[in-house]
Structure 1
């Protein structure tokens, strides 16, 4: 059993808007990359059993922080479960030669309606040991802030 990392944020938008941003490839390219990265979706199949491939590029690759190359993290993401507008479950596998990044990490995005919008909780289970917990949780928080900005300004 691997490690679990998580994050949460109240987003001032209805669950349907947040769910839509989780399943729109153009939106994902904008909000999913944490600060210091940009993303590109290379394949897209939004259904249970489908998925996508995303390449995340470090804006400053000094020191070679990437898992796939000095400047990139490539990840294959499968959709394990889609329950509109409440939950998206993804299974992510990083393309990396280092066994510390091997394995399948499950990301569960849970959306709950509140009086002020949507409480979004992200839980990452079976996080590969090569991913630093503090960095990962900071990345989750950054992605959630980007998601909030994206859907709050779109509405």
Structure 2
């Protein structure tokens, strides 16, 4: 059965600023890796039909091994739709030998103006069964917290 995981957060930045951070290579490399990981983008093509390849490295792989190797998750992400400033739809495929991580997961980043900020809702559909639901939702929430911190720091640097 297909699974859906979701998380949302209000970020103190307008939708156009948040949208730009979803399509900027340096920004994505900085904020997307959840707590306990670092990321490196190996390829970048921010257009519909384009995408990126990201190597995520677990800072401590004990108890949470990677999908691609003991310490890494490699993911190919395609941009299925870019809807400025309303959101981005991505299709993510993990490199993994374990069939529990096989398949294409759709990540929808929906942006909605709220007051002086933006509510960012991330909905992951067709999540591979090998990804623990609680860990995945915590990871999405962590990436959203990183995005908020990244944009708020950029606003302070202004």
1:1-155 pair list within 5 angstroms: 1-63=1-63, 65-155=65-155
- Alpha-carbon distance in 1 for matches of 2:32, 2:61: 18
Q: TM-score, normalised by structure 2?
A: 0.96
Q: Deviations over 1:104-142 (max 9, x none)?
A: 000000000111300000000000000000000000000
Unmatched segments (≥5 aa) in structure 1: none
- Alpha-carbon distance in 2 for matches of 1:100, 1:149: 33
Q: Which runs of 4+ in 1 moved over 6 A?
A: none
Unmatched segments (≥5 aa) in structure 2: none
- Alpha-carbon distance in 2 for matches of 1:64, 1:9: 25
Relative to structure 1, the CA distance from residue 59 to residue 84 in structure 2 (aligned partners, 3 Å threshold; closer, same or farther) is same
- Alpha-carbon distance in 1 for matches of 2:6, 2:121: 7
- Alpha-carbon distance in 2 for matches of 1:94, 1:32: 15
Give the match's secondary structure for 2:42. strand
Q: TM-score, normalised by structure 1?
A: 0.98
- Tell me how many residue pairs correspond in the alignment: 155
- Alpha-carbon distance in 2 for matches of 1:21, 1:39: 15
Give the match's secondary structure for 2:126. strand
- Alpha-carbon distance in 2 for matches of 1:20, 1:129: 31
Give the match's secondary structure for 2:97. coil
The RMSD of aligned alpha carbons is: 0.9
